[in-house]
């Protein structure tokens, strides 16, 4: 989980009724299920529980809510893990599915000393006494006034109690708004303060925010209805590039008129109104910095919502418009990023998520402009992070990553999104997708994915074990050189012999040694010695550098060679040359136990007498 995100939530969080009891239950039993009303902030409460129990770290990860396979779930729960499972988007009638998942997870969590917080879906007719009741806590709503107060104080706005008890604001707070609505209202109040440049006090900012929150949509609908086509296009253009220079507004508006095939005014240019007058006609102008914005707070958001809601037939045209605008070099990077963010917001709100992925594919198509990789990465990141459609985007990445000839540009974007975004909340899903990408035929995609994959698992023993298990299952049946390279880079003696936290070294685990042996078995038999000789030498050096694990490391190699005289003979030659080189480098005393132990085992396995390995 991103530490910055959790840290900000901690600053804003107000403990709701019931959460203290949940805190005690999680501390004592390691599991708690949070029930409550939608919009009450249960997901945030779950993250705060995990953070408050473990003051030393925000290092917890999220289990995918759509994963039901018991074997896969078992792989997702590691020893001492801190886990979040958010089922709040699931429908109440899907009770059987999530109960089966919990029956699998709860014993695993207890057996492995993990901690699990589950956000339950809104249930219809939830039974008051069932097998999960001992773990279930009803979490109420935090004080709406306290939540809003916390948001405002963090923005250095300090309203009085009288300011907060104004009639319309109090009615809003008494209406049980969702935490997202409270956050948005606070954002409006802060924006009103910033627009006023400190000229007013909180009551004025509050009233402007209330007007924007409750009245702006109706006002925009009335204004749009009274404008002609050109003015409507300009209204949408300004709304998609708030606080931008006039030149950029002109550029995107020209593109919109072109995409919509709006009839052009054939009069000479100087017979037209200038851009300043056109902006004034749609309630817009420039601020003290010369940047274009609407005159009214939150007018831009209401305009965007209006067009995507009430012009549904134009949504494909809006997609094409954004596609073309982002390719215009006249737009600054900030303008392109802002345009993508606002487009993603509307396309995801209106269930046009496939349009967002289509843009990513177009911006990374073969022969397309190379400078759009950052923009494609941003668009896809917004998709995979979305609360409702994130799982859909992650599934699409997985399926496309399985195609061996994925376009290079798209593959590189997938690697970035998986390693930089998906890994924060769903590290296991990032691992699977990066593993598929590491098998791509295009070298740059495969190499980038392999490097990202190794970085992901390098400091996490559970993820490292999961990747090794995938290698041990896949290597015997795929014979892919990419898989061999990945395994050899993954299974380094230094990583195997190192200790992560309080855990024991990986090489000390019999299951790990068996999986290592299965991988080495395939590598040594099916691939030429030039592919693995240098790694065998590194393995022997690792045995020298880690004498406490020397026998375990050598056992893995010898067991993988068992019954294969050709490989054993090659191993004997490698060991002999390695020992000579180590002796010349001044490591005679430390390499001798390794070479002699390996020599003895090889001669026993071959059943013949070979000249012993001697260090010089």
Q: What confidence tier does 2 reach under pLDDT thresholds 50, 70, 90? A: low
pLDDT higher for 339 or 481?
339
- Whether 176 is in a domain gets the answer yes
In this prediction, residue 90 has a pLDDT band, given cuts at 50, 70 and 90, of low
Which of 223, 238, 257 corresponds to the end of one domain? 223
Report the pLDDT value the prediction gives residue 612, as an integer from 0 to 100. Answer: 58
Least confident of 38-42, 221-225, 227-231, 283-287: 38-42
Residue that is last in its domain, among 196, 223, 250: 223
Same domain assignment for residues 132 and 11:
yes
pLDDT tens digits, one per residue of 237-246: 999 999 999 9
Q: Is residue 406 part of a domain?
A: no
Give the orientation angle of helix 353-363 with respect to helix 373-384, to 10 degrees. 160
> 80: buried, middle or exposed (CB in 10 Å: 19+, 13-18, 0-12)?
middle
Q: What is the Cα–Cα distance from 616 to 614, expressed in whole angstroms?
A: 6
In b/e form, how buried is each residue of 473-507, taking b as 16+ CB within 10 angstroms? ebbeeeeeebbbbbbbebbbbebbbbeeeeeebbb
Chain Cα centroid distance, residue 294: 34
- At 256-284, the pLDDT tens digits run 999 999 887 788 888 788 999 999 999 99
List Cβ neighbours of 395 (8 Å cut-off, separation of 6 or more).
Answer: none
In this prediction, residues 350-377 reach a mean pLDDT of 90
Q: What is the dihedral of CA 275, 279, 282, 283, to 10 degrees?
A: -160
How far, in Å, are 71, 82, 112 from residue 75 at the CA level?
A: 7, 14, 11
136: left (phi > 0), else alpha (psi -120 to 50), else beta? beta
CATH code for the domain of 60: 3.40.50
User: Are residues 203 and 282 located together in one domain of the fold?
Assistant: no
Residue 586 has pLDDT above 50, yes or no: yes
Digit-coded pLDDT (tens) for 384-410: 999 999 999 999 999 999 998 999 999
DSSP string, 424-489: HH-HHHHHHHHHHHTT-SSHHHHHHHHHHHHHHHTT-HHHHHHHHHHHHHHHHHH--HHHHHHHHH
pLDDT above 90 (res 99): no
Whether 277 and 343 map to the same domain: the answer is yes
Check residue 613 and give its pLDDT. Answer: 53
Cβ atoms of residues 265 and 273 within 8 Å = no
Residue 89's pLDDT is what?
79
Looking at the domain assignment, is residue 184 inside a domain? yes
Q: Count the domains in the chain.
A: 4
Model confidence band, residue 1 (pLDDT cutoffs 50, 70, 90)? low
Q: Are residues 243 and 216 in the same domain?
A: no
pTM for this prediction: 0.91
Does residue 27 sit in the same domain as residue 99?
yes
**Which residue segment(s) compose the domain that 165 sits in?**
144-223
Report helix angle 353-363 to 408-417, nearest 10. 120
> In the listed set 334, 350, 366, which residue is the last one of a domain according to the structure?
350
- The verdict on residue 368 lying in a domain is no
Single out the residue of 459, 460, 570 nearest to residue 523, CA to CA: 570
């Amino acid at each position: 989980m991103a530490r910055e995100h959790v840290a900000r939530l901690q600053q804003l969080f107000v403990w709701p009724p019931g959460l203290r009891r949940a805190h005690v239950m999680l501390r004592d039993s390691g599991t708690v299920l949070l029930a409550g009303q939608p919009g009450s902030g249960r997901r945030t409460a779950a993250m705060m529980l995990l953070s408050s129990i473990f003051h030393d770290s925000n290092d917890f990860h999220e289990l995918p809510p759509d994963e039901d396979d018991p074997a896969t779930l078992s792989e997702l729960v590691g020893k001492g893990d801190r886990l979040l499972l958010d089922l709040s988007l699931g429908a109440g009638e899907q009770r059987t599915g999530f109960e089966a998942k919990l029956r699998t997870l709860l014993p695993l969590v207890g057996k492995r000393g993990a901690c699990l917080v589950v956000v339950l879906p809104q249930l219809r007719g939830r039974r008051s006494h069932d097998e999960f009741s001992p773990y279930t806590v009803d979490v109420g709503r935090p004080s709406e006034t306290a939540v809003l107060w916390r948001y405002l104080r963090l923005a250095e706005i300090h309203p009085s109690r009288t300011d907060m008890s104004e009639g319309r604001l109090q009615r809003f707070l008494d209406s049980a708004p969702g935490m997202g609505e409270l956050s948005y209202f606070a954002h409006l109040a802060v924006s009103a303060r910033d627009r006023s440049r400190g000229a007013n006090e909180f009551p004025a900012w509050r009233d402007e925010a209330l007007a924007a929150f409750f009245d702006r949509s109706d006002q925009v609908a009335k204004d749009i209805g009274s404008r002609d086509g050109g003015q409507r296009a300009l209204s949408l253009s300004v709304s998609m590039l708030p606080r931008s220079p006039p030149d950029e507004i002109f550029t995107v508006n020209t593109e919109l008129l072109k995409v919509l095939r709006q009839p052009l005014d054939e009069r000479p240019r100087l017979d037209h109104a200038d851009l300043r007058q056109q902006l004034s006609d749609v309630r817009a102008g420039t601020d003290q910095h010369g940047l274009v914005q609407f005159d009214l707070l939150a007018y831009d958001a209401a305009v965007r919502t209006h067009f995507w809601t009430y012009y549904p037939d134009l949504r494909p045209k809006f997609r094409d418009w954004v596609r073309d605008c982002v390719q215009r070099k006249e737009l600054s990077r900030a303008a392109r990023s802002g345009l993508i963010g606002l487009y993603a917001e509307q396309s995801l709100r209106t269930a046009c998520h496939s349009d967002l992925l289509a843009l990513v594919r177009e911006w990374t198509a073969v022969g397309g402009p190379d400078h759009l990789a950052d923009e494609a990465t941003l668009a896809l990141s917004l998709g995979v992070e979305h609360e409702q459609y994130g799982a859909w985007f992650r599934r699409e990445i997985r399926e496309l990553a399985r195609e061996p000839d994925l376009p290079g540009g798209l593959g590189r974007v997938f690697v970035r999104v998986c390693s930089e975004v998906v890994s924060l909340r769903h590290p296991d899903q990032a691992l699977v997708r990066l593993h598929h990408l590491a098998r791509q035929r295009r070298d740059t995609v495969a190499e980038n994915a392999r490097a990202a994959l190794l970085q992901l698992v390098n400091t996490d023993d559970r993820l490292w074990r999961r990747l090794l298990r995938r290698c041990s299952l896949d290597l015997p049946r795929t014979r892919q050189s990419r898989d061999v390279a990945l395994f050899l880079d993954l299974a380094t003696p230094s990583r195997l012999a190192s200790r992560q936290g309080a855990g024991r070294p990986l090489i000390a685990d019999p299951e790990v040694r068996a999986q290592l042996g299965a991988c080495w078995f395939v590598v040594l038999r099916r691939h030429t010695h030039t592919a693995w000789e240098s790694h065998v030498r590194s393995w022997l050096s690792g045995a020298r550098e880690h004498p406490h694990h020397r026998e375990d490391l050598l056992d893995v190699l010898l067991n993988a060679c068992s019954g294969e005289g050709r490989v054993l003979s090659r191993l004997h030659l490698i060991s002999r040359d390695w020992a000579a080189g180590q002796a010349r480098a001044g490591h005679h005393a430390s390499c001798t136990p390794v070479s002699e132990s390996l020599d003895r085992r090889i001669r026993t396995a071959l059943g013949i007498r070979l000249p012993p390995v001697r260090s010089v």
